Every structure is written in structure tokens, then in C-alpha cells.
């Protein structure tokens, strides 16, 4: 399980989706190298189970694989294709403390993205 704790000024803060995407990419960072060990160039992605964020996970995984030189294939592709099966269990952004450095000023918000 990967989590990112981020304390930021509200004006400069990434969105919750950006925070979740960063945590997801961290959780997947060793996959391109492991796929490369098999000499595979095309990967099919299959999301197993019911999860509200399945579309987001599939989109992020597809982008990450594409950026690493892999073709994200459908079931009709020919040639060596492996299927990367993903079962999402948790994808949340939780809020922690809200504070200000002084009595007035920008708020600080602790957020934790967990994948």
C-alpha cells in the first residue's frame, strides 16, 4: 500500500485527482521494468472487481505504460501480449489537520492519498 502525505498551502495545492494519480504511479513504478524482462511490447489492461475509480486507474496505468514505450493493446491485437490484471482495493484521499501558520493567513491542509 502506498500513501502520500502532503501539507500544502491551499493556493498551491494539487487537486485530489493529481494527488491520487501520483500515489498510483508510485505504486506501479516497478511494473514497466518487470514487463520488459519478458520482451513484451504490448500490454492489455484488465480491471477486476467493482470499484468507482476503475476508469481512473485504467487511464493512469495506460498513460504510464505508453510513456514507458509500451503499446496498450485490446483483446484483438496479434503478437505477444500480456494482460496486466489489476484489482483495486483502495483509492482514497483523506483529509487531516487544517491549520494556519498565524491567526490570519493561508490555510494548511494535510491530505493523504492511499492506493
- pLDDT band at 1; cut points 50, 70, 90: low
> What are the boundaries of each domain within the chain?
3-114
Residues β-bridged to residue 108: 9, 99
**pLDDT value of residue 61:** 93
**Helices (H), ranges, 1-115:** 16-28, 31-36, 54-67
Residue 10 has pLDDT above 50, yes or no: no
**Residues whose CB is less than 8 angstroms from the CB of residue 62 and which lie 6 or more positions away in sequence, other chains included:** 45, 72
For the stretch 46-67, pLDDT in tens is 999 888 889 999 999 999 999 9
Residue 8 has pLDDT above 50, yes or no: no
φ, ψ at 86 (rounded to 5°): -125, 130
**pLDDT value of residue 77:** 55
- Indicate the range of 38-42, 87-91, 107-111 predicted with least confidence: 107-111
Amino acid at each position: 500500500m502506498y500513501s502520500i502525505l502532503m501539507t500544502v498551502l491551499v493556493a498551491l495545492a494539487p487537486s485530489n485527482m493529481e494527488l491520487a494519480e501520483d500515489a498510483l504511479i508510485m505504486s506501479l513504478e516497478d511494473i514497466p521494468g518487470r514487463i520488459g524482462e519478458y520482451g513484451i511490447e504490448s500490454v492489455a489492461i484488465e480491471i477486476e472487481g467493482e470499484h468507482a475509480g476503475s476508469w481512473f486507474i485504467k487511464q493512469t496505468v495506460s498513460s504510464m505504460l505508453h510513456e514507458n514505450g509500451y503499446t496498450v493493446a485490446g483483446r484483438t491485437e496479434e503478437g505477444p501480449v500480456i494482460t496486466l490484471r489489476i484489482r483495486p482495493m483502495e483509492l482514497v484521499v483523506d483529509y487531516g489537520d487544517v491549520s494556519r501558520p498565524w491567526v490570519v493567513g493561508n490555510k494548511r491542509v494535510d491530505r493523504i492519498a492511499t492506493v
